[in-house]
Structure formats: structure tokens, C-alpha cells
Structure 1
Amino acid sequence: MPLDRLFFIRHGETDWNAQRRLQGQQDIGLNARGLHQAGVAGRKLLGILGLERIRDPQLAYIASPLVRARRTMELARTAMQLDPSGYTTDPLLMELSFGTWEGKTWPEVQADQPQAAAWREGDKWNFVPPDGESYAMLGERIAPWLNALDGDCVVVSHGGVARVLMAVLGGLATNRAAMADIWQGRVIVFENGRFTWV
């Protein structure tokens, strides 16, 4: 894979994040805190790379097409003194689908489907929610996108995608990656088979 470094930003907070609802592929916008986090992440990335590298036309900027990721990218680029519209989207970067569980909190899922919830807790990486997808399936979905990358890139996507990248690019065991906390307003740098939070 010709990828050198991948700079990953999880989208800013939404009301559903704050309520701890499973968002999946529902198109939920940023709340006020999420708008702030997007700018913070952009300023952190500017601090990592510097203005000259940030403006390099060879540095790709790619976002999930969901509005929370696109808005985060636009605000981050504004904070980096860039044209907010100067990025592409890729549907392969959409969040893990939670199927019929989307919109529910985890306690609601546990109450409604205790056996399925227990199965997921036992093997979070491979469990497929009803009409949804597993982390393993998400890894298969984003593999063509990863294989097509050429050079450094900045990505704004989702927690599930970050967990898959931690396993695929960062060398984290899949059972640990599936449980990893993915913070908003920070940057994950993937490089040389490792990852670092900034």
C-alpha cells in the first residue's frame, strides 16, 4: 500500500452521541459542542503539519458523505485556513451500520434483545446486528478504499471506521480495537504500522 501517513478525525459530537444512541448510518448533524470540536481538530492538524504541508495539493482530504463528517471536514479546513469545500467524499467511509438498532441506546438494545446484546458483547468484532454489519464486514468494505490511497491523506469519518483502521493499519488486536474509545476533537495519526493520538 503506498499510503505513508493517514490523519484521522472523528466527526464532532451530535445530539445522538450525547444521548449515547447508536447512530450508524443515520444522517445526524453536529450539535454546538461538535461544531467546536471540529475547529479544535483542524487547529491540531495545522499544528502537526504546518501551513505549507496543509496547503500541499498532494495532500488528499476525504470525508464520509454523512453530514456530520462533511460539516466536521468543512469546519476543520476553515480552521486550517483552507477553502472549506476543497475535499472529496467516499461512501465507503460511512459508519458501521447498526441496522434496526440505530436510534436506540445500548440499555434499550439490552432490554429489547438481551441474547443478541450478549452475543455482541462476547465478540464485538464479528457480531452482525439485525440488518446491520460487523466490524469485520466494515473492514472488507473499506479495504478497496485503503488499497487505492496514494500518499498522505486527511480523513474525517466515524468511530467504527477508526476502530477498523486501528486494527488494519495500527496493529491493534481486533478484540481490543472493537472496544477502543474514539475521541472527538482529536487527531489519530497512522504511520508505520502504529497509531498515535494527538
Structure 2
Amino acid sequence: MHTTRFCLIRHGETDWNRERRLQGHLDIPLNTQGMAQAERLATALQRQQLQFAALHVSELTRARQTAAAISRQLALPLHTHAALKERHYGAFQGRTFDEAREQIPHVYRLHQERDLHFDLQGGESLLAFQQRIMHCMQQLATHHAGQQILVVSHGGVLEMVYRTASGKGLSGARDFPIPNAALNWVNYQDGSWHIEKWADQAHLDDSLDEV
């Protein structure tokens, strides 16, 4: 069976990342630090002289801006996907966790309890989010069987892939890093996902973890 190898990348830093404010589907651009991270990331990939068959990207601006630097340096066109967008955080979007705890305590409580079916009042449940992401990843793995590809997306998206590949499930709190603009390597073979290397930040000076 052919192996598909993925280099997964969370977008560069935004001002809302710095504020620890949940973005979800809200279309927040990279800040100056994020743009610099994207350039360092693209340079690191170019220096490694890795061959990629395709560059697949979330349609949100922060991911597209990160991928644009890679596209230029590696001469790869961007293929954007709505299915690679961040989780829709419903009532949490635009708020920090502290603000959510104070302003919408009932929503905050269910979120903290990790109710897998709770949609955050108009957003996506954890189960629905995982299904969306892994369906898209499965399609990419099948389409690019035997190839190596880049995927630029979001912290929540990478979390779903990590949890699926590691068998951690969705119930427990996250205990692994998801830094802005780091390199994360996973592969898919014969119906199974495997983590090769995670959170490689050797090319970065400073990178924030996912909220």
C-alpha cells in the first residue's frame, strides 16, 4: 500500500493569538511576527530541498498568507479548501477564555467539560469537527497516495489529526504543543495514521502554542 506523507503547518501568529482570543471562522490576518514566521518557514522548507506534490490550504486569510510564502519559494500553487478551516467556535468566537467564563458561563462550563456533542451555541461540536477534518485528510491521502504534500491550516485542525493518529481520543485535555508555523509530520498508510515528528520549531525564534 502506498504511503502519503503530510507536512502539517499551523498558520503564523496573529494579534488574536497574542491576546489568546479565539478566532474560529473569523478571518483574522497575520501580524508582523506571523508574516516573518511564514518567510522563515518557507526558507526552511526550501533549504531542506524536500519535494512536495501539492500545497493544500485552509481558505481563511491567516492560513493563505502563511502558505503564500511557501508557494513563492517552492513554486507550488495554492489549493484552498473550506474543509480545512478552523473549528467554528460559536459563542466563543471573538472572546478569550476569561471573557467567556465571565460573559457566557453556561457555555464555558460545557466547553470545559468537553461535551463531545455540544456545538458551542451555533458552532461545531468536537465530534462534527473531527469528522470534517479527517474526512478531508482521508480524501487528500487517497488523492496523493505515494506522495508527499503540504497542508497549511489551524491549531484545532492539527489537534484533530494528532488525536486521531495517536489514538488519544477527544475527551482528555490537550497535552501536546501546536506552535504557530512549526513543522509537523504525519503519514497515512493502509487505513492508519502515524505521527513521525511533531512541533519542529528549529527555524523559529518565537512561536505561540495553540490556545
Flag whether TM exceeds 0.5 (same fold): yes
**CA distances 1:5-33 after superposition (whole Å, capped 9, x unpaired):** 11011001111111111100011110000
Report the counterpart of residue 194 of structure 2 in structure 1.
193
Deviations 1:55-106 (A, max 9, x none): x5xx12100000110010011333xx223x6120111000000112211111
Structure-2 residue corresponding to 1:9: 9
CA drift of 1:163 comes to 0.4
Question: How many Å separate the matches in 1 of 2:172 and 2:43?
Answer: 29
Structure 2 unmatched runs, 5+: 188-192, 201-211
Give the TM-score normalised by the residue count of structure 2.
0.80
CA shift for structure 1 position 136: 1.7
The corresponding residue for 1:166 is 162
Partner of 1:66: 60
| Cross-structure match for 1:103 | 94
**1:18 is the counterpart of 2:18:** yes
Q: 1:7 to 1:177 in 2, by over 3 A?
A: farther
Is the contact made by 1:166 and 1:177 (CA closer than 8 Å) also made in structure 2?
no
Deviations 1:142-181 (A, max 9, x none): 2332222223210000011000000223433333474543
How much has 1:2 moved relative to structure 2? 5.4
Shift of 1:43: 2.9
Distance 1:12 1:104, change over 3 A: same
Query: 1:3 and 1:124, CA in 2 relative to 1: closer, same or farther beyond 3 A?
Result: farther
**Would you say 1:120 and 2:111 are equivalent positions?**
yes
> Which amino acid in 1 is paired with 2:112?
E
Distance in structure 1 (CA, Å) of the matches to 2:148 and 2:115: 30
Please, what is the CA RMSD of the aligned residues? 2.2
Deviation, 1:126, is: 4.7
Is the 1:166–1:195 Cα contact (8 Å) retained in structure 2?
Answer: no
Q: Kindly state the Cα deviation for residue 118 of structure 1 after the two structures are TM-superposed.
A: 2.0
Change (3 A) 1:125 1:44: farther
Q: Secondary structure at the match of 1:5?
A: strand
Question: May I ask how many residue pairs the two structures share in their alignment?
Answer: 189
Find the residue that maps to 2:74 and give its secondary structure. Answer: coil
Paired residue type of 1:82: L
Shift of 1:113: 1.8
Overall identity of the aligned pairs, in %: 31
Alignment match, 1:183: 179
Counterpart position of 1:90: 81
Contact 2:25 2:86 in 1 (8 A): yes
| 3-state DSSP of counterpart to 1:174 | coil
Secondary structure of the equivalent of 1:110?
helix
Q: What SS is found at the alignment partner of 1:77?
A: helix
Q: 1:146 aligns with which of 137, 140, 146?
A: 137
TM, length-normalised to structure 1? 0.85
CA distance in 1, matches of 2:173, 2:40: 25
Which structure is higher in helix share?
1
Letter in 1 for 2:69: L
